[in-house]
Structures are given as structure tokens and as C-alpha cells.
Amino acid sequence: MGVKKKIRIGMIGYKFMGKAHSHAYRDLPFYFDCDVEPVLQAVVGRDEDGVREAAERMGFASYETDWRKLIERDDIDLIDIVTPNNTHAEIAIAAAEAGKHILCEKPLALTLEDAQRMYNAVKKNNVIHMVCHNYRFAPAVQFAKKLIQEGRLGKIYHVRAQYLQDWIMDPKFPSVWRLKKAVTGSGALGDIAAHSIDMARFLVGEFEEVTGMMETFIKERPVADSSGGLSAKSESTIMEEVDVDDASAFLVRFENGAMGVFEATRFAGGNRNGNRIEINGSKGSIRWDMEQMNNLEVYFADDENGLQGFRNITCTEEHHPFAGAYWPAGHIIGYEHTFINLMTELMKGISEGYSPSPNFEDGVRNQEILTAIEKSAETRSWVNVKQMRLVENV
Ligand SMILES: NC(=O)c1ccc[n+]([C@@H]2O[C@H](COP(=O)([O-])OP(=O)(O)OC[C@H]3O[C@@H](n4cnc5c(N)ncnc54)[C@H](O)[C@@H]3O)[C@@H](O)[C@H]2O)c1
């Protein structure tokens, strides 16, 4: 066996997604025999003590305190962007101009214009690119895709998607970056509905038109003392305005004629990460729930009378995409494995010279839909998604 080409990772940010991504790169070679090998070369953080500690804990060989320095380094092949949404465009465009491959967290950008600029930059500089919609890499979701592609569900009539969380229901929960439009773009919509949109595009196809509503229940919150991922602390009495949606809901007409009903909220008490989708077709249905992510519920209309109903498949067998790389059947996997699967595709793309889906083009399509929903909520009308498109044929 020859020595594998190393893909030297430079990661910017090191909290919630920093932990998920660096863990996935480390574990990937343990399960998947890729032609190339990811190496944790350098991590960036603005606070030197914090980033030094993160580099040691997560296994990076070095660190930087300015992302521009990382991009200038010639010992980095891939820039991994795990910072808040307002930083994605500037970093990704600079990385593309420097000829680095890019993995960017979702949503691709703060605005559709930025997303389009990022896509133009990766195309122009011919680098490999992906956006981190990890949930479609759960083996059960991949298996659902296979059933739909094989026509096992027939003509698709309904898509019912919910992404339900409850982590900001306490009015005293601080004003974190996910609640500031200038940093995040939109609230529940861009943060979690973006995942449901990606999954629906993956499983069913393109959105034609949308109509939506958005609501902010708690209009101001105390300034945060510290935050990371979905947790934060505050002792402050100073209040800040919340200028993004706490909850969003929208209807969709798909290009293939299917109807969609979507809901994304951080005010669904008791639901911690209820990312769910149900699809009904003329011959069958599927249901998936992130909190039971190994399972796919499947119904086939031609099952014997009397035995009809949803069957619960544990997607841990070699017949289920990606699952064969892990454990014997029934030995379940978790959240972190969705990232390992995504990064395996990314390594394959880098070694074979293509940008696996979801890539920046998918990121732009997703952002067009987010923008159309915001516009429809503002104007209280239906909005055609293609009318959002900034440049033809991209
Ligand atoms: N794929 C998923 O399921 C998923 C889940 C959570 C978050 N995300 C996305 O990942 C991104 C990061 O979210 P998070 O929850 O990890 O955030 P976080 O608040 O936990 O971490 C953000 C990190 O970025 C750093 N940072 C901010 N500005 C920086 C700058 N200018 N230079 C260097 N570092 C900087 C922070 O110090 C921190 O390390 C966001 O785009 C978010 O939407 C995706």
C-alpha cells in the first residue's frame, strides 16, 4: 500500500462545529478507505490562549490568530469555515482566490448576493467546494433517497418537514449571534429551515414557489457574557433588540407538482432537535426523525391487506449507504457520523476532481429559497423562487 496524499486542513473557528468537523476528519480514515488522507494542519481563533488550547485538544499541528495568515500558508490544501454566517463570504472568496478547496458551514452566506459571489469565486478558481448540510448524510436519509429514485414511492404528493427546537424559549436567554440579523442573516429560517430545504431538494427536487410567515416572540434579550453553539451565559441588565425570526412557517409548490408544508421554530417546548420529514407518494411513504436517526419508517401501498402500515427499518446494514463502514447491523451510529460521511464525499471529490453535492451551487439554490420566503413573508404573497435568481444558468 503506497503513502496516501495528505489533504492538509486549515479550520477557522473551533467551537460547536469546530468540534464536529475536527472530530470527523480524525475519525474518517478509521472507517473509510479514501485515496487521500485528511490531516489537521492548523486552526484559527482570535484569542491566542483559547486557540492554543483548542489546537492541543482537537489535535491540530499548529494555530493562527488571523484567518488571513492561514489562507496565505502554502501548507494548507482545504479551508474549513466554521465561523458565524457573516464571515463566510469574505473567507471563502479569499480562500478560493488562493486556490484552496473549501468546506463551508451552512447557510452558505448572509445574503443571496454573497452566496452568488462565493459560487462565482470557486468556479473561477476551479477549487473543490461543499456546504455542510450534514443531515442528508444519515444512512436512513440516503436510503430514503434510493427508494424515491427507484420509484418505490411513486409520484410524490406531499412533503411535510419540521425543524423544532426550544433552546431560546426562556426570555432571559441572552442575545447570541444567532439572534442578530447582521451576523446571522435570518433566525430559525436560515439556521434550521435551511437544513429542511436542503433535505427536501435532495429527496424530492426543486422548489417552484413559496409563501411564508415569520414571527419574533421575544423582541429583546440581555447582552451575552459568553456563548458557543446553542448555549450562552449572561449576568447583564443591558438589553439588545432581537431582529430575526424566532419561528417561520411556509408552504411550497415543487416543480414536480408536490406540495410542501414546512415549519422551523426555536419555541417548540420539549423539542430539542426535532428535525423531521415525511414524504407521501402514490405508492408509498417515508418518515425520518433526527432524534431517532438510525430509523426510517417506510410504508408501501401494495403491502398485503391487513398487514399494511409503516414498518420501522433500522438503517445499519450494508444495504444502507455509508452504514456498512461502521458496525454490525443494529449497532447504531450518531450525529457525528453524518459529518464523517459528508467529509468522506469531500475527500473523494478532492481526489477525483469534482465538487460533491451539496456544493456551493446547492448553497446558492438554498439561499434563493430562503430569500423568497423572507420576501413572501414581507409582502404576504406567493413568490416564485426562480425570480430570485441573480445570474442565469448558474
Ligand atoms: N451543520 C450543522 O448542523 C450546523 C450546526 C451548528 C452550526 N452550524 C453553522 O456553523 C457555523 C458556526 O456555528 P457554531 O454553532 O459552531 O458557532 P459557535 O459560536 O459555537 O462558534 C463560532 C466560532 O467562530 C469563531 N469566530 C467568529 N468570528 C471569527 C473570526 N472573524 N475569525 C476567527 N474566528 C471567528 C468563534 O470564536 C468560535 O470559535 C455557522 O455558520 C452555523 O450556522 C451548522
Q: Of the candidates 101, 134, 167, which is a domain's last residue?
A: 134
- 198 pocket-lining for ligand 1 (C-beta < 6 Å): no
Has residue 235 been placed in a domain? yes
Residue 372 lies in a domain: no
Region 235-249: mean pLDDT is: 96
User: Does the CB atom of residue 132 touch ligand 1 within 6 A?
Assistant: yes
Q: How far apart are the first and last CA of the chain?
A: 41
Residue appearing with cell numbers 446553542: 230
183 and 300 fall within a common domain: yes
Q: How far is CA 111 from CA 37, 192, 210, in A?
A: 33, 16, 18
- Residue 226 C-alpha to ligand 1 middle, in angstroms? 14
114 occurs within a structural domain = yes
CA of 352 to the centre of ligand 1 (A): 29
How far is CA 125 from each of CA 97, 110, 254, 268, rounded to the nearest angstrom?
Answer: 6, 22, 33, 43
Residue 227 lies in a domain: yes
Q: Please state the φ and ψ torsions of residue 290, each to the nearest 5 degrees.
A: -55, -35
Confidence of residue 1 (pLDDT cuts 50, 70, 90): low
Mutate to test the pocket of ligand 1, among 15, 102, 111 (most ligand atoms within 8 A of CB): 15
Answer yes or no: do 58 and 203 share one domain.
Answer: no
Residues 11 and 121 in one domain: yes
Domain range for 25 is 5-134
The pLDDT score that the predictor gives to residue 31 is 98
Does residue 383 lie within any of the structural domains? no
Q: What is the distance between the alpha carbons of residues 111 and 388, in angstroms, rounded to a whole number?
A: 12
Same domain, 106 and 197: no
Assess whether the C-beta atom of 44 lies below 6 angstroms from ligand 1: yes
Confidence (pLDDT) at 280 = 99
The minimum-distance atom of ligand 1 relative to the CA of 135 is 3
**Cα 266 to Cα 327: distance, rounded to the nearest angstrom:** 34
Average pLDDT in the chain: 97
Same-domain check for residues 121 and 143: no
Determine the atom of ligand 1 nearest the C-alpha atom of 339: 1
Q: What is the pLDDT of residues 12-63, one digit of tens each?
A: 999 999 999 999 999 999 999 999 999 999 999 999 999 999 999 999 999 9
59 CB under 6 A from ligand 1? Answer: no
Q: Does the beta carbon of 358 lie inside 6 Å of ligand 1?
A: no
Whether 248 and 268 map to the same domain: the answer is yes
In a mutational test of the pocket of ligand 1, which residue from 11, 12, 16 has the highest number of ligand atoms less than 8 Å from its CB?
16
Mean pLDDT of 91-96: 98
Give the residue, by CA position, lying nearest to ligand 1 atom 7. Answer: 17
Distance from Cα 286 to the centre of ligand 1, integer Å: 32
Q: What pLDDT score does 372 carry?
A: 98
* Ligand 1 touching residue 377 (CB < 6 A): no
Q: Say yes or no: 143 and 92 in one domain.
A: no
All residues at 6 or more sequence positions from 137 whose CB lies less than 8 Å from its CB, including other chains: 322, 338, 339, 341, 342, 345
Mean pLDDT computed over 296-307:
98
Atom 40 of ligand 1 has which residue's CA nearest to it?
84
Ligand 1 center to 84 CA (angstroms): 4
Work out the angle between the directed axes of helices 112-124 and 360-379 (0-180°, nearest 10). 160
The sheet that has 207-215: what strands, in order across it? 311-314, 295-300, 284-289, 274-281, 156-164, 259-265, 247-254, 207-215, 383-384
CATH number of the domain bearing residue 303:
3.30.360.10
Question: 144 and 59, same structural domain?
Answer: no
The tens digit of pLDDT for each residue in 171-207 reads 999 999 999 999 999 999 999 999 999 999 999 999 9
C-alpha cell at 131: 456546504
Looking at 72, 100, 134, the residue that finishes a domain is 134
Helix, strand or coil, per DSSP, at residue 156: strand
Three-state SS at 98: coil
Residue 69 belongs to a domain with what CATH number? 3.40.50.720
Q: How far is the CA of 82 from the centre of ligand 1 (A)?
A: 5
Q: How far is the CA of 120 from the centre of ligand 1 (A)?
A: 23
- DSSP strand pairing (383-384 vs 311-314): unpaired
CB atoms within 10 A of CB 138: 29
362 lines ligand 1 (CB under 6 A): no
Residue 25 included in any domain: yes
Check whether residue 111 and residue 197 sit in a common domain: no
Instruction: Report yes or no on whether pTM surpasses 0.85.
Output: yes
Residue ending a domain, choose from 134, 164, 182: 134
Q: What is the pLDDT of residues 324-356, one digit of tens each?
A: 999 999 999 999 999 999 999 999 999 999 999
Query: Is the C-beta atom of 131 inside 6 A of ligand 1?
Result: no
Q: What are φ and ψ of residue 121, in 5° steps?
A: -65, -40
The reply to whether ligand 1 has any atom less than 6 angstroms from the CB of 155 is: no
Structural domains in the chain (count): 2
Taking CA atoms only, the protein residue closest to ligand 1 atom 43 is: 106
228 lines ligand 1 (CB under 6 A): yes
In a domain, 31, yes or no: yes
Q: Do 40 and 128 lie in a common domain?
A: yes
pLDDT at position 393: 46
Q: Is residue 373 part of a domain?
A: no
Nearest to 46 by CA among 69, 74, 77, 23: 69
| pLDDT for residue 383 | 98
Residues 60 and 125 in one domain: yes
Co-location of 116 and 156 in the same domain? no
Phi, psi of 35 (to 5 degrees): -75, -20
